């Protein structure tokens, strides 16, 4: 089987990725809180150790079926809470960093360990953001987590190149997508997010790309035979 495992496939880009991958013949395993699909597993990534256990248990149910190709996508993400760093509450800080960073790494660790010896093409993609490379006032936690995940992928790529049956870790910048995440941004306030007007204008000018178009471009990137270990790909260069 061709197996795709991804987080955050309940809506937005992740949902479009699930549909695109299922349409391409992948068996999909999806992790999110709302877990809407027959192939979903319910998990709240704001709880790191719980997430790791749930993912480990789900992988154990896959059995020994032959895997021809494995695609892993760290897609789940949250901007919440938007606002100045000085006004953020402890639990909200931990929830954001756990979902965007700590649990993402725990989940990827579990998946890499489970399939390290599997002999097939294995690609591990982190859905990143422009916020990994640029600071945005009001998004300090998101920016920190996205930057951390990008560099985690680069380090993992160096390790994987020394493995006999490596994963190819890559970062993908999906551009600006018409999802609930953008709606959350437009629904914030200028005092919490000074650039809000620019994001409202983007929506009004039709500059947001549909999740289906971004997912198709991401699939084209991931299907390239010559993916580079640790590279950063932009969907805008691949038809989105
Ligand atoms: N939208 C954009 O313009 C944009 C731009 C750059 C990068 N990105 C990145 O693209 C990815 C997808 O974003 P999107 O725009 O599709 O966002 P979205 O519509 O808000 O969807 C986010 C997904 O993440 C899951 N998720 C969030 N918190 C979770 C938690 N605590 N536990 C488990 N799952 C959780 C959600 O599932 P549940 O709610 O069911 O848990 C949902 O499936 C994210 O990594 C985001 O940072 C988006």
Q: Taking CB atoms and a 6 Å cutoff, what residues make up the pocket around ligand 1?
A: 8-14, 32-34, 43-46, 75-78, 99, 127, 129, 174, 176-177, 179-182
Domain-embedded: residue 23 = yes
What is d(CA 89, CA 97) in angstroms, rounded to the nearest whole number?
12
| For residue 95, pLDDT beyond 90 | yes
Nearest Cα neighbor of 170 from 73, 59, 41 is: 73
> If you average pLDDT over residues 202-226, what whole number do you get?
97
| For residue 202, pLDDT beyond 90 | yes
Nearest Cα neighbor of 136 from 206, 84, 80 is: 84
Half-sphere exposure of 62 (CA within 13 A, CB side): 24
| Phi/psi of residue 187, nearest 5 degrees | -85, 0
Going by pLDDT thresholds of 50, 70 and 90, the confidence category of residue 63 is confident
Domain-embedded: residue 239 = no
Domain-embedded: residue 146 = yes
- Probe ligand 1: pick from 8, 133, 240, max atoms within 8 Å of CB? 8
What is d(CA 122, CA 116) in angstroms, rounded to the nearest whole number?
9
Domain-embedded: residue 150 = yes
Give the structural domain span for 98.
2-234
| For residue 183, pLDDT beyond 90 | yes
> If you average pLDDT over residues 105-133, what whole number do you get?
98
Domain-embedded: residue 114 = yes
Going by pLDDT thresholds of 50, 70 and 90, the confidence category of residue 37 is very high
Spacing, Cα 155 to ligand 1 middle (Å): 24
| For residue 74, pLDDT beyond 90 | yes
CATH number at residue 9: 3.40.50.720
Going by pLDDT thresholds of 50, 70 and 90, the confidence category of residue 64 is confident
| For residue 239, pLDDT beyond 90 | no
Nearest Cα neighbor of 125 from 80, 170, 160, 191 is: 170
Nearest Cα neighbor of 171 from 98, 234, 121 is: 234
What is d(CA 125, CA 150) in angstroms, rounded to the nearest whole number?
10
- Contacts of residue 43, defined as CB under 8 A and 6 or more positions apart, other chains included, come to 7, 31, 32, 33, 35, 50, 51, 54, 55
Q: pTM of the prediction?
A: 0.98
Nearest Cα neighbor of 73 from 181, 172, 217, 179 is: 172
Structural domain count, the chain: 1
């Amino acid at each position: 089987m061709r197996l795709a495992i991804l987080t955050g496939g309940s809506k937005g880009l992740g949902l479009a990725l699930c549909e695109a991958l299922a349409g391409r013949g992948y068996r999909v395993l999806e992790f999110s809180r709302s877990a809407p699909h027959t192939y979903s597993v319910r998990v709240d990534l704001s709880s790191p150790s719980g997430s790791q256990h749930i993912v480990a248990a789900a992988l154990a149910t896959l059995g020994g079926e032959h895997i021809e190709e494995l695609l892993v996508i760290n897609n789940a993400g949250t901007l919440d809470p938007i606002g100045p760093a000085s006004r953020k509450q402890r639990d909200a800080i931990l929830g954001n960093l756990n979902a965007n960073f700590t649990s993402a790494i725990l989940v990827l660790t579990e998946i890499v360990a489970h399939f390290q010896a599997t002999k097939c093409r294995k690609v591990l993609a982190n859905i990143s953001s422009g916020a990994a490379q640029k600071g945005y006032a009001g998004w300090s936690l998101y920016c920190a987590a996205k930057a951390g995940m990008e560099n985690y992928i680069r380090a993992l790529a160096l390790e994987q190149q020394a493995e006999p049956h490596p994963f190819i870790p890559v970062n993908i910048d999906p551009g600006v997508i018409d999802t609930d995440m953008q709606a959350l941004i437009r629904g914030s306030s200028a005092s919490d997010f000074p650039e809000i007007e620019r994001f409202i204008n983007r929506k009004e000018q039709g500059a947001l790309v549909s999740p289906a178009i971004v997912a198709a471009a991401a699939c084209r990137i991931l299907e390239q035979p010559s993916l580079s270990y640790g590279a950063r790909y932009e969907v805008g260069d691949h038809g989105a």
